[in-house]
Amino acid sequence: MPGTWLTGERPGARTHADDTAPRQWRAILLALTDRDGSDPPGGGSLDELERLAATDGIGVADRMVQVRGRPDPATYLGSGKVRELAELVGSRHADVVIADGELTPAQVRGLEDGTGVRVVDRTGLILDIFAEHARSFEGKAQVELAQLAYELPRLRGHGREMSRIGGGRMAGGAGTGVRGRGEMRLEIQRRHLRRRMRTLREQVRRTARRREVTRRRRTRDRVPSVAITGYTNAGKSALLNRLAGADAEVADVLFATLDPLVRQVRTPDGLTYTLTDTVGFVRRLPHQLVDAFRSTLEEVTRADLALHVVDASSPQATEHIATVRGVLGDIGAQDVPELLVLNKADLAAPEQMDTLRRIHPAAVPVSARTGEGLDDLRDALRDRLAALFPPDRARTATPADTEGSP
């Protein structure tokens, strides 16, 4: 499987001249920022990039931020800054440069030529993490699909810009006729990727269809469904474990969960509902992943209620809420009723908790760690479900009965 940028040379696989033991990869984080230093990307953004890097087993040697309105089309940074970056790479013994923004293939090449080390962007890093965490057949197929979508335009020699820069070098005189040999090889590679993508899409579609059948049966039986959603690392899996007595993987890394996990839960007054844990969101979630994971993400779209979990202890809690709602809108889940949960109440500063509660009066503060607030959450869930599924209707009506009625 063609992987992303680290395939075949995972961190730790390298040794340095002065020590023989394998060591962790070291990265320089790179960002462009507007003149006022706000967005993109403020400190929060590079902090998040650092967490993403750590999740992928990469340590951060240093950060470099250039104030610059628009990236240079060839080198991302200005040429003086590229030299500065190369010096930083050398003095910090860095192995890789990770850019917070999205780089064009030309910019990757420009920066790699300028620094002599591997250069990757945020999307490539996130794809790598997803590839490491994919467990199920479906998850792996989705990740590979996203990787191929990312790679397709990055194959050397693609596009108009490349036919000028690289095309001449690759095809120059080596082939016959109008198209050089390099260009033909490229076309074969591209065709191969596209064919593989079609196969993967079909696999993903088949799994999604199977899930759809199960879901339809539950709808017919009027079993309400609650989907846990939220930013990555918010504590979604921890909450599922608390509410459903499940044993979903809980880990202090980003994107620990990629596959939907469904559990049945009974409220104290006997209402049964399903609770689904699924993949978390992140700011600027790569569109290749949104496309590939659409059927997984749509678990929320089909749910009767979205349990939106927020890490209330994060300084970025408000941005995270906005990001999650944005992605939910993108996948067509904006009309699913939401119950907001302010998780990690044990960690959050009291002032921050007060602020969040003021802005979101209906939100329920809980701690999946200590269990605090869980009874309130169970009550809130019961009330919301009872409102959505009045007991008399739940027994008599079927979806077909209500279809088309006002």
Residues that bind ligand GTP (CB under 6 A): 230, 232-238, 250-252, 254-257, 280, 343-344, 346-347, 367-369
State the DSSP string of 304-368. Answer: SEEEEEEETTSTTHHHHHHHHHHHHHHTT-TTS-EEEEEE-TTTS-HHHHHHHHHH-TT-EE--T
Cβ atoms 385, 273 nearer than 8 A? yes
The nearer residue to ligand GTP, 65 or 125, going by C-beta atoms, is: 125
Say if CB 228 and CB 240 are below 8 A apart. yes
Angle between helices 294-301 and 137-151 (to 10 degrees): 120
234 binds, among Mg ion, ligand GTP, none (CB under 5 to 8 A by kind): ligand GTP
Minimal distance in Å, beta carbon 173 to Mg ion? Answer: 54
Q: Which letter, b or e, does each residue of 301-313 get, where b requires 16 or more Cβ atoms within 10 Å of its Cβ? A: bbbbbbbbbbbbb
CB of 298 vs ligand GTP, minimal distance in Å:
17
What does 105 interact with, of ligand GTP, Mg ion, none (CB < 5 to 8 A by kind)?
none
State yes or no: residue 232 binds Mg ion (CB under 5 A).
Answer: no
DSSP 252-296: SSTT---S-EEEEEE-TTS-EEEEEE---B-TT--HHHHHHTHHH
Q: Which does 232 bind (CB under 5 to 8 A by kind): ligand GTP, Mg ion, none?
A: ligand GTP
Cβ at position 343, least distance to ligand GTP in Å: 5
98 CB-near residues (< 8 Å, 6+ apart): 27, 28, 29, 30, 49, 53, 58, 119, 120, 121, 122, 125
How is residue 19 written in tokens? Answer: 């020590």
Counting contacts by CB under 5 A, is residue 204 touching Mg ion?
Answer: no
Burial of 8 (0-12, 13-18, 19+ CB in 10 A): exposed
Residue placing its CB nearer to Mg ion in the complex, 115 or 257: 257
Interface with Mg ion (CB under 5 A), residue total 4
Query: 369 touches which of Mg ion, ligand GTP, none (CB within 5 to 8 A by kind)?
Result: ligand GTP
Q: Which burial class, exposed, middle or buried, applies to 69 when counting CB atoms under 10 A from its CB (0-12, 13-18, 19+)? A: exposed
**Between residue 247 and residue 276, which ones bind Mg ion under the rule CB under 5 A?**
256-257
Task: Report the residue number, 305 or 377, with the smaller CB distance to ligand GTP.
Answer: 377
Q: Which is nearer to ligand GTP, 58 or 341 (CB)?
A: 341
| Residue among 82 and 240 whose Cβ is closer to ligand GTP | 240
Report the residue number whose CB is nearest to ligand GTP. 280
Of 66 and 323, CB closest to Mg ion: 323
Nearer to Mg ion, 99 or 317 (CB): 317
User: Could you say whether residue 278 binds Mg ion (CB under 5 A)?
Assistant: no
Among 55, 66, 147, 237, binds Mg ion (CB under 5 A): 237
Contact yes or no for 277/261 (Cβ under 8 A): yes
In whole angstroms, the minimum distance from the beta carbon of 237 to ligand GTP comes to: 3
Closest CA to 279 of 339, 229, 329: 229
Length, in residues, of the chain = 406
Kindly report the number of other CB atoms within 10 A of residue 39's CB atom. 11
- Given the complex with ligand GTP, which of 236 and 360 has the nearer CB atom? 236
Residue 149: CB minimum distance to ligand GTP, A: 22
**Residue 296 binding Mg ion, by CB under 5 A:** no
| Cβ pair 277, 296 in contact under 8 A | no
Name the residue nearer to ligand GTP (CB basis): 237 or 323.
Answer: 237
> Token pair for residue 225?
């469904």
Task: Give dist(CA 72, CA 38) in Å, integer.
Answer: 20
Residues facing residue 119 across a β-bridge: 97
Q: Smallest gap, in angstroms, from Cβ of residue 230 to ligand GTP?
A: 6
Minimum distance of Mg ion from residue 246's CB (angstroms): 11
Give min distance, CB of 374 to ligand GTP, in A.
Answer: 10
Q: Which does 367 bind (CB under 5 to 8 A by kind): Mg ion, ligand GTP, none?
A: ligand GTP
If the CB atoms of residues 67 and 251 are measured against Mg ion, the closer one turns out to be 251
Q: Which of 168, 98, 104 is nearest to 126 (CA)?
A: 98
Q: Which does 66 bind (CB under 5 to 8 A by kind): ligand GTP, Mg ion, none?
A: none
To ligand GTP, the closest distance from the beta carbon of 257 in angstroms equals 3
- Shortest distance (Å) from residue 297 CB to Mg ion: 14
Contacting positions for Mg ion (CB under 5 A)? 236-237, 256-257
